[in-house]
Amino acid sequence: MRKYKVGVIGATGMVGQRFVTLLSAHPWFELSVLAASARSAGKTYEEALGGRWVMQTPLPAKAAAMKVYDATADRAKVAGMADFVFCAVDMPKDEIRELEESYARLECPVMSNNSANRFTPDVPMIIPEINADHAQVIPYQRRRLGTRKGFIAVKSNCSLQSYVPALHALHDLGITRVAACTYQAISGAGKTFERWPEMIDNVNPLIKGEEEKSEREPMKIWGSVEGGVIVPATTPVITAQCLRVPVSDGHMAAVFAAFEQKASFEEIIGRWQSFRGRPQELELPSAPKQFIHYFEEADRPQTRLDRNLEGGMAVSVGRLREDAIFDIRFVSLSHNTLRGAAGGGVLMAELLCAEGYMD
């Protein structure tokens, strides 16, 4: 695999910082350009951060000295310095759509962490182990954009990573109804406890727009490519509640599901433990060896103990039980800024590189 030159747009935010840490020593990708808002442009990355580095690992020295470009005004220059870019910006959705599409039209593929293009019909929203085949829509998107190489691919909402993979391993049993309640870390809002002291000893029952995403996005992920667009699935029916809890990293979900076909607990757990997707087949650098881990212990998974499993790229499941209203219930967990955000974006890029979409 040749080395790809990559950029990060929105590099000073929390997800942007996570991208920088993951890319600084990546075997396939070389971090070549950083971009952010106009107020950061012209500064070194360290100067632009202004002491706001929130990762637990030190700021990589090479990245610290890199010049930061204006993501909007310098887009042609940024696009010319990278084979593709990762995008994680804090802007209004219409501006994000325009920005991402402009990079794609400059023949620079965009791996987006943003929600603005998640429901654009010819933009694939990929969880690599689940719907890698949705990349087939990219040639149709290129035709619309008038590009040879440029396109946009997005990753799904961070909370979905905690429970959609566990449901996907059971999908052929005919899932009819799902209820999910997610307990989401403050880093999902780009915050730390130092910057959000109101969340200490507190639970916030509202995360704006999160419940709609949790109910709609799985339908696109489980959809099919037809006529150059992704047609969303119509089942199962999903209802969700999303709460912000006083945890630094890690989104947990309490999930209830009903099926057309019944399966024993042994079969369900076996499906989870043996589930493999395209990243495992290709042995991609960021792919967990085992995607879904099941814990037999009654009090697992726990956020602090299990969020970093396999470099934060695995999903943890536990407490599988019968349910009086649904068929089963379980608890699941994923790391929201690794598997759920930057790590998932890097894995998606690895998949698209391996499948030839970046060339």
Q: What is the pLDDT of residues 48-84, one digit of tens each?
A: 999 999 999 999 999 999 999 999 999 999 999 999 9
What pLDDT digit, counting tens, does each position of 309-348 carry?
999 999 999 999 999 999 999 999 999 999 999 999 999 9
| 8 Å CB contact between 338 and 55 | no
- In the set 108, 134, 168, 251, the catalytic residue is 251
- The percentage of residues in the chain with a pLDDT greater than 70, rounded to a whole number, is 100
258 and 320 inside one domain = yes
- The confidence score (pLDDT) of residue 332 equals 98
Kindly report the backbone phi and psi dihedral angles of residue 172, in degrees, each rounded to the nearest multiple of 5, phi listed first. -75, -5
165 and 195 inside one domain = yes
What pLDDT digit, counting tens, does each position of 130-171 carry?
999 999 999 999 999 999 999 999 999 999 999 999 999 999
Helix, strand or coil, per DSSP, at residue 228: coil
182 and 142 inside one domain = no
| CATH classification of the domain holding 265 | 3.30.360.10
- In the set 87, 108, 158, 242, the catalytic residue is 158
**Within a domain: 208:** yes
**Within a domain: 283:** yes
> Is 87 one of the catalytic residues?
no
**Within a domain: 191:** yes
What pLDDT digit, counting tens, does each position of 221-258 carry?
999 999 999 999 999 999 999 999 999 999 999 999 99
17 and 77 inside one domain = yes
- The confidence score (pLDDT) of residue 359 equals 86
> Is 134 one of the catalytic residues?
no
What secondary structure letter does DSSP report for 58?
A: P
151 and 170 inside one domain = no
Q: How far apart are CA 27 and CA 229, in angstroms?
A: 33
| CATH classification of the domain holding 96 | 3.40.50.720
Helix, strand or coil, per DSSP, at residue 140: helix
74 and 54 inside one domain = yes
What pLDDT digit, counting tens, does each position of 96-120 carry?
999 999 999 999 999 999 999 999 9
- The confidence score (pLDDT) of residue 144 equals 98
User: Rounded mean pLDDT of the chain?
Assistant: 97
State yes or no: pLDDT of 1 exceeds 80.
no
CB contact set of 44 (below 8 Å; sequence gap of 6+)? 64, 65, 66, 67, 68
**Within a domain: 26:** yes
Kindly report the backbone phi and psi dihedral angles of residue 321, in degrees, each rounded to the nearest multiple of 5, phi listed first. -145, 160
Retrieve residue 250's tokens: 């890690």
238 and 275 inside one domain = yes
**Within a domain: 205:** yes
Q: Which of 133, 132, 190, 110 is nearest to 158 (CA)?
A: 190
- Across the beta sheet with 251-259, what order do the strands follow? 237-244, 175-184, 251-259, 328-334, 315-322, 292-295
- The confidence score (pLDDT) of residue 250 equals 98
203 and 146 inside one domain = no
CB contact set of 288 (below 8 Å; sequence gap of 6+)? 280, 309, 310, 311, 313, 314
- The percentage of residues in the chain with a pLDDT greater than 90, rounded to a whole number, is 99
What's the gap between Cα 184 and its chain centre? Answer: 14
> How many structural domains comprise the chain?
2
26 and 138 inside one domain = yes
135 and 62 inside one domain = yes
175 and 319 inside one domain = yes
CB contact set of 138 (below 8 Å; sequence gap of 6+)? 124, 151, 153, 357
**Within a domain: 359:** no
Q: Which of 179, 178, 123 is nearest to 156 (CA)?
A: 123
Predicted TM-score (pTM) of the model is 0.97
- The confidence score (pLDDT) of residue 2 equals 84
Domain range holding 89?
4-157+342-354
303 and 172 inside one domain = yes
